[in-house]
Amino acid sequence: MKKLKVVHYINNFFAGVGGEEKADIPPELKKGAIGPGMALEAALGDEAEVIATVICGDSYYGENMDSARKEILEMIKDTQADAFVAGPAFNAGRYGVACGSIAKAVEEDLGIPSVTGMYIENPGVDMYRKDIQIIETGNSAADLRNSMPKLAKLVLKKAKGELVGPPEVEGYHMMGIRTNFFHEKRGSERAIDMLMKKINGEKFETEYPMPVFDRVPPNPAVKDLSKIKIAIVTSGGIVPHDNPDRIESSSATRYGIYDISGMDSLSADDFTSIHGGYDRAFVVKNPNLVVPLDVMRDLEREGVIGELANYFVTTTGTGTSVGNAKGFGESFSKKLVEDGIGAVILTST
Amino acid sequence: MRLELGKIFIKDVQFGEKTMVDKGVLYVNKQEIIDLAMQDDRIKSVNVELARPGESIRIAPVKDVIEPRVKVEGSGAIFPGMTNKVKTVGSGRTHALVGSTVLTCGKIVGFQEGVIDMSGPIAKYCPFSETYNVCLVIEPIDGIETHAYEAAARMAGLKAAEYVGKAGLDVEPDEVVVYETKPLLEQIKEYPDLPKIAYVHMLQSQGLLHDTYYYGVDAKQFIPTFMYPTEIMDGAITSGNCVAPCDKVTTFHHLNNPVIEDLYKRHGKDLNFVGVILTNENVYLADKERCSDMVGKLVEFLGIDGVLITEEGYGNPDTDLMMNCKKCTQAGAKVVLITDEFPGRDGKSQSVADATPEADAVASCGQGNLIEHFPAMDKVIGMLDYVETMIGGYKGCINPDGSFDAELQIIIASTIANGYNKLTARFY
Amino acid sequence: MDKLIITNNSLVYEKFNREIETVFLDKSSLYQLLECVRDLVYMGHSLYTHPLSGSIKPNETPYKSVVISKKKGVLDVESVAIIEKSMDAALRFMKNYPTPPWTENILKDFRTVDLSLIENAVDRMGNI
């Protein structure tokens, strides 16, 4: 029995190449299993082997998604692989986005069955869950021993053309694909069962969960703009040229607060955009397109607004987890309140 | 109201000299049915064919399906306001030829719809693959206006079903089920400790090929009202809805409404089934507001503890469904919805056209966008030449041998949103 | 009268335009018509009928008629929600398969059904 050929994708860190300072390495194909790939090979058993490993820096992939993807697809095509495993990425945001992106592309464009794995809060989950099976993992590499066998099992199943079971059986995050099946009871009977449970205060499970209404109720409108102090908050990734706080170009784990005292507008000499989710050409020439300091100063001068805060808050929105975004907001809003800021203008891209 | 429903189980259908039931076999006189239908001068020709479970037969395009029934005792007659005079029905005794149907096929519009496969892989999606069907293939006179053709076909089906139903008049039923709903106060006195449950039944009411009738009144024209559940068993509600086959509520499904039947099963045990609130699904938004407000008001007024809501159709009726859900919840009732889904072919998109946070308890009747393969059948009753123009079919989908690939949408009542079937959907 | 009919169905235009102001977008697709209605809603018109009228799906029939208010007011958020959800739904169906090139006979039937749906809705509106 010929062994199935599996190709593995990992990042700079897991390849042992280096940490954050090596996050910009371009993709490279190496023979055999590397790092966690050995755990993958062990889990695959006799049926398959890891014939090659693609290593790519997370920042490189994040900032060159199209070209990196194409490059890696070419590498994998040449290997004539039967199956593909990316990661698992656990809770690493950029890694998760890269894994989801490449696993989807390998399956869709090359027709090679693929699997990846991530922790629920990884932004890659929400971005790619519909497109490719993402095995549920813990939030750190400590979970490797536990999760890798699940990735191996599922990818083997797919490679052999077997039917993929429901999420709770195979261990992947709910994909969100509505799939028909025949129940033993008819709909009306099940509905009455559900109603009686609801009436009796018992737990019941809806068969179609409504979309989540994660709404933040807005505050009441500002009564008098001319008296209020306003700050600009952006997720458009505007930072000083040297990006002193090392805000990531995607899947941000930090935010920055930068001084604009005495400035009438943001100069391209002082500020730039590091956001990886849009074409930065126009913004790099004129950062006011995302942080409208020039217009806000006009409004301040004209007395339309009371005062503009002498700093703006910034981070990168693309691929940033909801959890992180919430955390940032809770953190810097304290400072805003302390500084007497009554309203913010949020600019996104 | 108290109704004894005498179920006469039909095990076969044959053509015969006399329309009658003998030892479970339904015999129908073909010519008499044809003559009856031809009484309507809007009809050019009628053919009658039989389809039995297991046969390699495909029936298309189906317009309505009706269960033959006859009133044996009690006020009024079957299909009041349609084939018979208006008179309140739902009490006394009615016989039903269970396991048989009369159905109509006809090219009312150029885009055809409604397939029934009597055998093969598609049969499991359709309840009528298991019944003995008397099929009327109706051709209208040339140049007839669409509204007139629709009315003619509808009446022909009801008349034929009534005629066939009469065969059960003097037959001893195999099973008699008693359904009883007492006037509200009496019934509450009878079961003071059981939660009061009402069924909110939304009727299709948008216009041509999208109508339903209550005692012959177009559902568009009424405002929410209260109905004894047994009225529906005598045909007080009939269908004029001929589009989007998968969630079409046929007259058969009105007669055999599963929510009513299953609520009766538990009535007096752990719930008190007090009755049915009828409402509609008009296109005019103010009507939606008005009717859902009134449904909520009735729920509050009658002291209802729990409500099941079913809808018919997709799109704007989802808005009525959510409005009714919201207002019944606000009126103090616990609510469960029954609906079908259209999440796109890949199953990934939003399944329902509207949503509200109160809709936290939903029973799903399956998704209609799934593509299935329909193998060729030996015989076609009706016409197959327009499958590609069927809702759910698509250009290039039909092969020379008669087989084709199409969405589930194309099968009559496959995802019917009243919970009649066992098909459901879940997230993968 | 506070009604304005937006339609791409010639039957609807012919039937109503003498008594009710009717905007006839005869070259527009169903989706383009919904976009136009959306724009009008954002300008302050309210919806009187639901844009997803009929069980024939938005990728099957090319015809659609919607009644909105003639007068403009403060932004009607419910109308906004309804038209946006309707456009979402229409787009979703069209992604599955686009409207086929129907024959004239079938187009005539679709026009007839659309006319009936809007006719009945206008009827229900009375003297608005």
Q: What is the pLDDT of residues B308-332, one digit of tens each?
A: 999 999 899 999 999 999 999 999 9
Task: List the one residue out of B393, B197, B200, B171 whose CA is nearest residue B295.
Answer: B200
CB contact under 8 A, B391 and C105: no
Note the pLDDT tens digit of each residue in A39-50. Answer: 999 999 999 999
Contact A275, A318 (CB under 8 A): yes
Distance (Å) from the alpha carbon of A175 to chain B's nearest alpha carbon? 6
Q: Interface partners of A (3+ CB pairs, < 8 Å)?
A: B
Mean of per-residue pLDDT scores for chain A: 94
Reply yes or no on whether the pLDDT at B392 is more than 60. Answer: no
Quick check: B391 pLDDT over 60? no
For testing the chain B interface, which of C47, C48, C50, C83 should be mutated: the one with the most B CBs within 10 Å? C50
**Residues of B in Cβ contact (< 8 Å) with A179:** 347, 367, 425-428
CA distance to partner chain B, nearest, from residue C93 (Å): 7
Catalytic residue among B105, B126, B135, B242, which? B242
Nearest to C52 among B146, B316, B394 (CB): B316
pLDDT at B416 over 90: yes
The owner of tokens 């606000």 is: B330
Domains recognised in chain A with CATH numbers: 4-170 (3.40.50.2300), 225-347 (no CATH)
Pairwise CB contact (< 8 Å): A180 & B262: no
pLDDT at A239: 96
- Pick the range with the lowest mean pLDDT from A260-269, B238-247, C11-20, C27-36: B238-247
Residues of B in contact with C54 (CB under 8 A): 206-207, 210, 243, 315
pLDDT confidence of residue B351: 86
A/C touch flag: 3 or more CB pairs below 8 Å: no
Helix boundaries (H) for C1-128: 10-16, 30-42, 77-96, 104-125
Interface test with A, best of B364, B367, B370, B408 (most A CBs within 10 A): B364
CB contact under 8 A, B208 and C86: no
Residue A209 has pLDDT above 70, yes or no: yes
C-beta of residue C112 within 8 angstroms of C-beta of residue B208? yes
Paired tokens of B369: 């966008």
* Closest CA in chain B for residue A208: B362
| Residue B188, Cβ density class (10 Å: 0-12 exposed, 13-18 middle, ≥19 buried) | middle
Per-residue pLDDT tens for A309-331? 999 999 999 888 888 888 999 99
B210, B319, B388: residue with CB nearest C54: B210
Tell me the mean pLDDT in the region A131-158.
Answer: 96
Pairing type for strands A134-136 and A178-182 reads unpaired
Q: Which residues does chain B have within 8 Å of residue A166's beta carbon, measured at their own beta carbons?
A: 426, 428
Q: What is the model's pLDDT at position C4? A: 97
More confident residue, A321 or B52: B52
Residue B386 has pLDDT above 60, yes or no: no
Stretch A120-135: mean pLDDT: 94
Q: Give the pLDDT confidence score for residue A214 in this predicted structure.
A: 66
Neighbours of C96 (CB within 10 A): 17
Distance CA(B318)–CA(B13), nearest Å, equals: 39
pLDDT band at B385 (very low <50, low <70, confident <90, very high): low
Q: How far is B149 from chain C (nearest CA, A)?
A: 12
Domain boundaries, chain C: 3-125
Our CA angle for A282, A285, A291, nearest 5°, is 80
Does C9 touch chain B if contact means CB atoms closer than 8 Å?
no
User: Which residues of A fall within a CB distance of 8 Å from B422?
Assistant: 182-187
Query: Number of residue pairs across A and B with CB atoms under 8 Å?
Result: 155
Q: Report whether pLDDT(B371) > 70.
A: yes
Which of B264, B297, B277, B270 is closest to B199 using CA atoms? Answer: B277
**Closest CA relative to residue C114, chosen from B285, B250, B244, B206:** B206
CB contact under 8 A, B259 and A207: no
Which stretches of A127-251 are assigned E, i.e. beta strand?
134-136, 178-182, 229-234, 238-240
Q: Residue A1 above 80 pLDDT?
A: no
Q: Give C32→chain B minimum CA distance, Å.
A: 18
Q: Regarding predicted confidence, which is higher, B215 or B404?
A: B215
Q: Which residues of B touch A185 (CB under 8 A)?
A: 422
Distance CA(A293)–CA(A310), nearest Å, equals 10
Query: Mean pLDDT over residues B385-394, rounded?
Result: 58
- For residue A167, the distance in angstroms to the closest alpha carbon of chain B comes to 6
Q: How confident is the model at residue B406 (pLDDT cuts 50, 70, 90)?
A: confident
What pLDDT shows up at residue A340? 95
Tell me the C-alpha distance between A93 and B180, whole Å: 62
Decide if pLDDT at C96 tops 90: no
B266 contacts A192? CB cut-off 8 A: yes
Contact (CB<8Å) C48/B354: no
**How far does the CA of residue B123 sit from the closest CA of chain C (Å)?**
24
Contact criterion met (CB below 8 Å) for A103 and A86: yes
- pLDDT tens string C22-81: 999 999 999 999 999 999 999 999 999 999 999 988 888 999 999 999 999 999 999 999
pLDDT at B136: 96
pLDDT in tens, B162-193: 999 999 999 999 999 999 999 999 999 999 99
- DSSP letter (8 states) at residue A236: B
The neighbour count for residue B280, using CB atoms within 10 Å, is 26
Instruction: Return the bridge partners of A48, or none.
Output: A4
- Judging contacts by C-beta atoms under 8 Å, the chain A residues touching residue B306 are 195-196, 198-199
Distances (CA, A) of B179 to A74, A303, B162, B230: 70, 76, 22, 7
Angle formed by the axes of helices B30-38 and B146-165, to 10°?
Answer: 140
**pLDDT, mean of residues B368-396:** 76
Instruction: Kindly state the average pLDDT of the residues B268-272.
Output: 97
Q: How far apart are CA B230 and CA B91, in angstroms?
A: 7
pLDDT at C20: 95
Q: In the structure, what pLDDT confidence band is assigned to residue B399 with cuts at 50, 70 and 90?
A: confident
Interchain contact C113–B (C-beta under 8 A):
yes
pLDDT band for position A119 (cuts 50, 70, 90): very high
Handedness of CA A101, A104, A108, A111 (dihedral sign): positive
Among candidate residues A85, A197, A62, A184, the one with its CA nearest the CA of residue A137: A85
What is the nearest CA distance from B361 to chain A, expressed in angstroms?
5
Chain B CA closest to residue C106: B110
Could you tell me which of A153, A152, A154 has the C-alpha nearest to residue A37?
A: A152
Sort out which chain C residues have CB atoms less than 8 A from B241's CB and list them: 55
Chain C, residues 47-66, CB within 8 A of chain B, namely 47-58, 60
* Chain B, nearest residue to A128 by Cα: B348
- Tokens representing B109 are 């519009």
Contact state of B283 with C92 under an 8 Å Cβ cutoff: no
User: Which chain A residues are closer than 8 Å to B258 by Cβ?
Assistant: 186-189
For the segment A226-235, the average pLDDT, to the nearest whole number, is: 96
Asked if the ipTM is above 0.85, the reply is yes
Asked if the model's pLDDT at residue B428 lies above 70, the reply is: yes
Nearest CA in chain A to B359: A210
The minimum CA-CA distance between A126 and chain B, rounded to whole Å, is: 13
Catalytic residue flag (residue B242): yes
State if pTM tops 0.95: no
Q: Alpha carbon A160 to chain centroid distance?
A: 30
Contact B362 A184 (CB under 8 A): no
CB B249 within 8 A of CB B204: yes
* Contact criterion met (CB < 8 Å) for B315 and C118: no
Range in A90-99, A128-137, C91-100 with the lowest mean pLDDT: C91-100
Q: Do C120 and B146 touch (CB under 8 A)?
A: no
What is d(CA A318, CA A263) in angstroms, rounded to the nearest whole number? 28
The pLDDT, as a whole number, for residue A184 is 96
Q: Who among B283, B313, B314 is closest to C121 (CB)?
A: B283
User: At A174, is the secondary structure helix, strand, or coil?
Assistant: coil
Res B112: pLDDT: 63
Report how far apart, in Å, the C-alpha atoms of A24 and of each of A60, A72, A338, C18 are: 4, 15, 39, 68
Q: Which chains touch C (3 or more CB pairs under 8 A)?
A: B
Structure confidence at residue B171 (pLDDT): 96
State the average pLDDT over residues B49-60.
95
For residue A254, pLDDT over 90 is answered with: yes
Give the integer Cα–Cα distance in Å for A122 and A62: 15
Q: Enumerate the β-bridge partners of residue B103.
A: B65, B135
